Amino acid sequence: MRHITVGAAQLGPIARDESRPEVVARLLALMRDAADRGCDLVVFPELALTTFFPRWAIDNITDADHWYETEMPGPDTQPLFNEAALLGIGFCLGYAELSEDDAGVTHRRNIYLLVGKDGETIAKFNKVHIPGHEESESWRPFQHLERYYFEAGDDGFGVWRAFGGNIGMAICNDRRWPETYREMGLQGVEMVLIGYNTPLHYAPDPTQNALAGFHNHLVMQSGAYQNGTFVVGVAKGGIEEGVDSLAQTVIIAPSGQIIAQAITTGDELIVARCDLDFCKTYTDTLFDFEHYRMPEHYQRISNQRGVTPPEGDAE
């Protein structure tokens, strides 16, 4: 039996002036609790080292550099890696990354990092679906300038062999798009790790506000069920710098059932012991892609609808 005992470490608000050491102390407390409760892996939210700074417009983007990490681990985050190795627990950490490529071009990315029980990095994921807007919009009660602060990832959604299973990652808005789960489902993912920061007020259409919690669980439960995978959705919730953000962290089984849910909007650890072979209950039956998915069916539809196959493809 292949089990992962996973901890979803929800965070409450991180204040604008909260230092990295102060935040890392909160993460370490959750990591130690997770280890005490037998976790193999503890999952932190999106942007878990700072407040959700895209809610503010900063004209000169270099004035925002302090919200980003230029090295991982760095002096302030090394204690997380040391503690992970000491306790023998892996972790997944969301943060903003500022880097420079070989051509001297600056890159600003919204990152999820998967770290093993030995404290060594296994994989890095760059958020694909960057929501919000590129320029400050004065009509909004608060900004959502992720498209100003981050560039979209173009590596898609990977799956890595870790903790005895097939692990995938996604960040926040990624969880709303079916492609996210299917791209990993086609790679045999067994557990998808997702961190999110989701304001309860959606300025472009406030009628959706009342459905924020429903939509949050709907997309992750659907993604889990339709791809026969566990999904771990971890919030940074509560009222952060005046913006009320969705909590409701969950661990979801391949059946789509919620098997653990946070009940507060603060720092809270929920744990579930996940039998990865349970995924086969769905991927060897109802969602046996090889047997039922008929990719030629989709190609036929595309052809009928005049979609021109790429050059050189058979008619």
> Which residues are the active-site residues?
46, 127, 172
Comparison of 26 and 127: residue with beta carbon closer to ligand ING: 127
Residue with tokens 């997702």: 194
Rounded to a whole number of angstroms, the minimum distance from the CB of residue 112 to ligand ING is 12
What secondary structure letter does DSSP report for 211? G
89: three-class secondary structure by DSSP: coil
d(CA 229, CA 283): 9
Cα-trace Rg, the chain: 20
Total residues binding ligand ING (CB under 6 A):
9
172 counts as binding ligand ING under rule CB under 6 A = yes
Strand (E) or helix (H) holding 241: none
CB of 256 to ligand ING, least distance (A): 19
Q: Candidates 23-31, 72-80, 171-179, 296-304: pick the segment binding ligand ING (CB under 6 A).
A: 171-179
| 180 near ligand ING, judged by CB under 6 A | no
Q: How many CA atoms lie within 13 A of 80 on its CB side?
A: 33
**Sheet with strand 191-196: strands edge to edge:** 159-162, 165-171, 191-196, 230-235, 250-252, 258-261
Stretch of 22-30, 62-70, 134-142, 168-176 contacting ligand ING, by CB under 6 A: 168-176
Could you say which of 126, 143, 197, 283 contacts ligand ING (CB under 6 A)?
197
| Interface with ligand ING, residue 199, by CB under 6 A | yes
Q: State how far Cα 133 lies from the chain centre.
A: 20
Report if residue 202 touches ligand ING, rule: CB under 6 A: yes
Nearer residue to ligand ING within complex by CB, 54 or 228: 54
Q: Please pick, from the candidates 77, 143, 198, 283, the single residue that binds ligand ING as defined by CB under 6 A.
A: 198
- Shortest distance, position 285 Cβ to ligand ING, whole Å: 32
CA distance 62 to 50: 16
For strands 41-43 and 90-100, give the pairing.
parallel
> Rule CB under 6 A: which residues touch ligand ING?
131, 172-173, 176, 196-199, 202
